[in-house]
Each structure stands twice: as structure tokens, then as C-alpha cells.
């Protein structure tokens, strides 16, 4: 088990360096504004004060919230940049899953 733990830490240790970015992406309404980087504090305050955005955040998926609400508004450039950075980390995984899903679907057709 200790070897497995070591291997896990080696493979996923890089993610710890992005802990704050992940938190900003996943829970922008729950973060403590005083604990976020200064470049994001004003946007975090504006975001958290918007009851409309809070309602939209809780009524749709995380990806759709950014895609359909935040990005088109252009109102939160630092939040958008952070979201794009986080999402791009997992892009190849998503594409790979899409490919396997399409392959499975096409095989089940024949």
C-alpha cells in the first residue's frame, strides 16, 4: 500500500500546485475573498454579490455556467482566464473519452 501511495503522489502531485485555481473554478461563490489572489478579489466580490449569477450557478452544470453565462458576458476576465486554464488541463482526457464513446457506439450499430 505504501508503494501505491508513493506512486499516486508522484503521478498527481502536480495538481496540488493548482489547488487554488481549481477551487476558484469549482466554487467561485464559496471562496473567502480575502484568501484569493489580489488579481481576482474585485471580480470575486462582484460575482458573489450577484444573486442572478448565484441562481444560474446552482441551476446548471459547472461547464454550462461558464460556457453559457460567464464567457458570453465578458464581465469577469480573470475568472474566464482561470476557467480556461483549468478546463484545458483536462481537454485531452475529454477528447479521448469522446473517441471511445463514439467507437463503442459505432460498434454497437453493426
pLDDT for res 92: 61
pLDDT for res 43: 94
**Band (16; pLDDT cuts 50, 70, 90):** confident
Distance CA 25, CA 22 (A): 5
Distance CA 22, CA 52 (A): 23
For cell 481549481, name the residue.
22
* Residue-averaged pLDDT of the chain: 83
Sign of CA dihedral 67, 69, 75, 80: negative
Name the residue range of residue 43's domain.
Answer: 2-109
Residue 100 in this model has a pLDDT that exceeds 60: no
pTM beyond 0.85, yes or no:
no
Residue 5 in this model has a pLDDT that exceeds 80: yes
CA 98 to chain centre: 18
List all residues 6 or more positions away from 87 whose beta carbon is below 8 Å from its beta carbon. 25, 63, 66
Helix residue ranges per DSSP H, 1-110: 2-12, 19-26, 38-49, 51-59, 62-64, 71-73, 77-89, 91-109
**71-95, pLDDT tens digit by residue?**
899 899 999 999 888 888 776 655 5
**50-72, pLDDT tens digit by residue?**
999 999 999 998 888 998 999 89
Total domain count for the chain? 1
Amino acid at each position: 500500500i505504501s508503494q501505491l501511495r508513493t506512486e499516486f503522489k508522484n503521478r498527481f502531485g502536480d495538481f496540488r500546485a493548482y489547488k487554488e485555481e481549481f477551487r476558484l473554478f469549482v466554487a467561485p461563490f464559496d471562496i473567502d475573498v480575502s484568501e484569493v489572489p489580489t488579481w481576482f478579489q474585485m471580480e470575486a466580490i462582484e460575482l458573489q454579490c450577484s444573486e442572478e449569477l448565484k441562481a444560474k450557478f446552482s441551476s446548471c452544470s459547472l461547464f454550462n455556467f461558464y460556457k453559457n453565462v460567464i464567457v458570453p458576458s465578458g464581465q469577469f476576465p480573470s475568472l474566464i482566464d482561470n476557467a480556461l486554464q483549468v478546463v484545458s488541463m483536462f481537454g485531452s482526457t475529454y477528447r479521448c473519452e469522446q473517441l471511445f464513446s463514439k467507437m463503442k457506439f459505432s460498434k454497437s450499430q453493426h
